[in-house]
């Protein structure tokens, strides 16, 4: 049975003391719930990764980075390598978020390099894909997502691909308060799973965790997560308060 995941992408939020409080609150709250076949992943800004992995050693969550540079070391001022993440015992790393594609010009080819660099060091990519509003309005959403997945992931062999988590994040739903309907989410998740089945095999597709992201919150998580191909969420704004994040976690 594939794993369910709720991951919180903090983006560029929280100063140190706030981060410490949020991590502690979530760790304490997770002690009070029983999660079956479900992983919670916190993805704080990189400056807080060490603190987060320290708490994670005694707590019931995993840790993800928000970004990585696809080289082990070298003259790449300001960047963080997969080796550094590995040394901190980081489990996951977000790759291909639409904000990085948009503001930092990250291409499918560059994202492929990140995927490979992470897998080389045993860190699991959470690979984001999703269409812009005009692309959906033009009926191109399936083609856009297919191209993103094919060009950054489908060079992998089946064994390596089994380490990938996919997050479908329609760009028009991110930070807008406009979530995809449960039908839109299910339709795209089923499509992605079908792509994986065609490229690899039915078993690999069945075992792939596919998350939904985009204005997912405590109120709408349950109906989104009830869809057969929605295996959890990648949460932005609603992960910044422990209570709402926990409401989402317990909606799985
Ligand atoms: P919001 O939940 O704030 O819409 O952000 C989603 C997201 O981008 C998670 O990576």
3-state secondary structure 86-132: HHCCCCEEEECCHHHHHHCCCCHHHHHHHHHHHHHCCCEEEEEECCC
pLDDT, residue 180, reads 96
Task: Give yes or no for a contact between 148 and 106, defined as CB atoms under 8 angstroms apart.
Answer: no
- DSSP state for residue 47 in the 8-state scheme: G
Number of separate domains in the chain? 1
Please give the DSSP secondary-structure letter assigned to residue 173.
G
Q: Which atom of ligand 1 is nearest to the CA of 215?
A: 4
Angle at CA 35, nearest 5°, toward 33 and 36? 150
CA 224–ligand 1 middle distance (angstroms): 14
CATH code, 30: 3.20.20.70
Q: Give the pLDDT confidence score for residue 1 in this predicted structure.
A: 86
Instruction: Note the pLDDT of residue 121.
Output: 98
- What's the whole-model pTM score? 0.98
Query: Would you state the pLDDT for residue 213?
Result: 98
Residues of the chain with pLDDT under 50: none
- List the domain range (segments joined by +) for residue 95: 4-249
> Among the options 39, 97, 99, 106, which is catalytic?
97
Residue whose CA lies nearest to ligand 1 atom number 7: 236
pLDDT single digits (tens) 108-146: 999 999 999 999 999 999 999 999 999 999 999 999 999
């Amino acid at each position: 049975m594939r794993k369910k995941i709720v991951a919180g992408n903090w983006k560029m939020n929280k100063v140190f003391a706030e981060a410490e409080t949020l991590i502690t609150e979530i760790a304490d709250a997770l002690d009070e719930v029983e999660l079956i076949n479900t992983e919670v992943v916190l993805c704080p800004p990189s400056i807080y990764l060490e603190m987060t992995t320290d708490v994670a050693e005694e707590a019931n969550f995993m840790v993800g980075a928000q970004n990585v540079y696809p080289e082990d070391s070298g003259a790449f001022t300001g960047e963080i390598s997969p080796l550094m993440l590995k040394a901190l015992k980081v489990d996951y790393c977000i790759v291909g978020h639409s904000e990085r594609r948009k503001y930092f010009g990250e291409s499918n080819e560059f994202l492929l390099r990140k995927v490979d660099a992470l897998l080389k060091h045993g860190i699991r990519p959470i690979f984001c894909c999703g269409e812009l509003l005009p692309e959906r309005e033009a009926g191109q959403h399936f083609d856009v997502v297919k191209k993103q997945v094919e060009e950054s992931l489908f060079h992998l062999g089946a064994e390596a691909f089994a380490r990938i988590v996919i997050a479908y994040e329609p760009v028009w739903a991110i930070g807008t308060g406009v979530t995809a309907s449960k039908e839109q989410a299910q339709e795209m998740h089923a499509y992605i799973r079908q792509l994986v089945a065609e490229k690899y095999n039915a078993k690999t597709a069945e075992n792939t965790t596919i998350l939904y992201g985009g204005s997912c919150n405590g109120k709408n998580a349950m109906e989104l997560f009830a869809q057969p191909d929605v295996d959890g969420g990648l949460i932005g704004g609603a992960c910044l308060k422990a209570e709402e994040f926990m409401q989402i976690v317990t909606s799985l």
